[in-house]
Amino acid sequence: MVRLTDLHPVEAEHLLKRAKDMPAIGPGDWVDPPSVKEATVAIVSTAGLHRRIDPPFTIGSLDYRIIPGDTQFDDLVLSHISANFDRSAFGQDPNIVFPIDRLRELASAGEIGGVARWHYSFMGAMPDPSQFEKTGEEIGRLMAQDGVDIAFLVPI
Amino acid sequence: MSEAVVPPRALWVPFPLGRPLGAVNDPDFQKNVLRRALGLIDTAVEPTIEDYAIETPDEDLSENWACPVNLSSATSDSLSERLLAEVAMLRPWAIETRHQRGRTLFGVTGAGEDQVDDVARALATIADSGDVISEPLIDGISWTFEMPLLLRHMADDLRTFYHEAVTARPGESAPNHDALNQWIFSETVLGETLLLVADGLTQASNVPMAQLVRGLLIPEGYYKGGSAFPDQVNFPIDR
């Protein structure tokens, strides 16, 4: 996501170093889900999104927030700690980060099977993604219980 | 980073950070991105990273953006008075944007939607004093963060307000991330204030996380021409 050449050189250098230092993780077990036209899709965001009633994310957060599928956009805020992404776009159009309306439209058109009741949000900015393993497994169990076939991870 | 994580199916997109689905207020564009990503479900037979090479149509316009509000030079020597004067000039337009959208992102600090002046005054006071430890005491605000991390989110609340103000006029382009940063840090009292706060964090080298918060406060490249992060960054883990 994003070309390094489109970033400020200082930011590009910083991200290259992070990528180089990032421990290798995958791959996990291969799973063949139902066809997209039959699948229920849930969004998993790493934008630090949450409802106003939720506690904000903080430095080093490994926990998640629930975003019910019927959450109104005026109830969603961003508490991601990074200053190096364009959060104004979310202010203009929340679907650019949390495409719930787009998923509903695809479901109405029969292009996907359905949209999950619950969606999830983390805050990224963690140099070692393996720290999320335990929470990630929990989210996986919850989504399976909710009949989710596809987790659509949207980075920020 | 995706190559290190090895996800089962990934779509690389060329869009700026903060715009993973590409084009703002363009449902067809966003759905095409979704279709391509979800399409990997039916086509990938092993871990796959596919490139999506279609650019958004509006990036050129936002690079040529100019602030529609005339922020004339203030005559006061007081940073707080100049910042509040700037906020006052932007307020009618921010209110208009909030009315058009029916929402605002302002308030992640715990401040109410109508407490922009309080947040601005508190930030200017901290910039002047260099005190990055003491929590600003303001009637009616229960901050959701502790100092010094609160500074990072006060900056975001005010940036949100400023962006709301400059995107109020229909038909005009909105600044992209670079244009917004360039404007804030070279033409506004807010930018001046944030850089002073960053200097205060530099001076507070004995305050835990001060240097890290400085890096989170100022976008890369805007702190004395370089990074505001310290050379060695250690992110604590909040279990």
> Is residue B222 in some structural domain?
no
Mean pLDDT, rounded, for B8-22: 93
Mean pLDDT, rounded, for A89-104: 95
Contact across the interface for B34 and A52, Cβ inside 8 Å: no
- Give tens-digit pLDDT for A72-83: 999 999 999 988
> Is residue B23 in some structural domain?
yes
Tell me how far apart the alpha carbons of residues B18 and B193 are, in angstroms, rounded to a whole number: 24
> Which positions 109-168 of B are in contact with A (Cβ < 8 Å)?
144-145, 149, 152-153, 155-156, 159-160, 163-164, 167
- Do B116 and B206 share a domain, yes or no? yes
> Is residue B229 in some structural domain?
no
- Do B49 and B84 share a domain, yes or no? no
For residue A23, what pLDDT is reported? 67
- Do B124 and B167 share a domain, yes or no? yes
Tell me how far apart the alpha carbons of residues B35 and A106 are, in angstroms, rounded to a whole number: 9
Mean pLDDT, rounded, for A126-133: 79
Residue A61 DSSP symbol: B
Peptide bond into A27 cis (omega under 30): yes
- Do B52 and B84 share a domain, yes or no? no
> Is residue B148 in some structural domain?
yes
Tell me how far apart the alpha carbons of residues B12 and A62 are, in angstroms, rounded to a whole number: 24
- Give tens-digit pLDDT for B186-236: 999 999 999 999 999 999 988 878 988 999 999 988 888 777 877 766 666
- Do B105 and B141 share a domain, yes or no? yes
Least confident among A131-135, B4-8, B83-87, B163-167: B4-8
Unique residue bearing structure tokens 């244009």: B179
- Do B142 and B168 share a domain, yes or no? yes
Structural domain of B44: 2-57
> Is residue B140 in some structural domain?
yes
Q: Quick one: three-class SS letters along chain B?
A: CHHHHCCCEEEECCCCCCCCCCCCCCHHHHHHHHHHHHHHHHHCCCCEEEECCCCCCCHHHHHCCCCCCCCCCCCCCCHHHHHHHHHHHHHHHHHHHHHHHCCCCCCCCCCCCCCHHHHHHHHHHHHHHCCCCCCCCCCCCCCCCCCCHHHHHHHHHHHHHHHHHHCCCCCCCCCCHHHHHHHHHHHCHHHHHHHHHHHHHHHCCCCCCHHHHHHHHCCCCCECCECCCCCCCCCCCEC
> Is residue B236 in some structural domain?
no
The ipTM is 0.92
Other Cβ atoms within 10 Å of A67 Cβ, number:
23
> Is residue B238 in some structural domain?
no
Mean pLDDT taken over chain B = 88
- Do B113 and B26 share a domain, yes or no? no
Contact list, A154 vs chain B (CB under 8 Å): 20-21
- Give tens-digit pLDDT for B85-130: 999 999 999 999 999 999 999 999 999 999 999 999 999 999 999 9
- Do B32 and B113 share a domain, yes or no? no
Most confident of A114-118, A133-137, B70-74, B183-187: A114-118
Please state, for a pLDDT cut of 70, what percent of chain B lies above it. Answer: 89
- Do B78 and B42 share a domain, yes or no? no
- Do B125 and B177 share a domain, yes or no? yes
Contact across the interface for B216 and A58, Cβ inside 8 Å: no
For residue B35, what pLDDT is reported? 97
- Do B132 and B207 share a domain, yes or no? yes
For residue A28, what pLDDT is reported? 79
- Do B133 and B200 share a domain, yes or no? yes
Last residue of a domain, one of B41, B57, B73: B57
Q: Give the predicted TM-score (pTM) of the model.
A: 0.90
Which of A8, A58, A97 has the CB atom closest to B20's CB atom?
A97
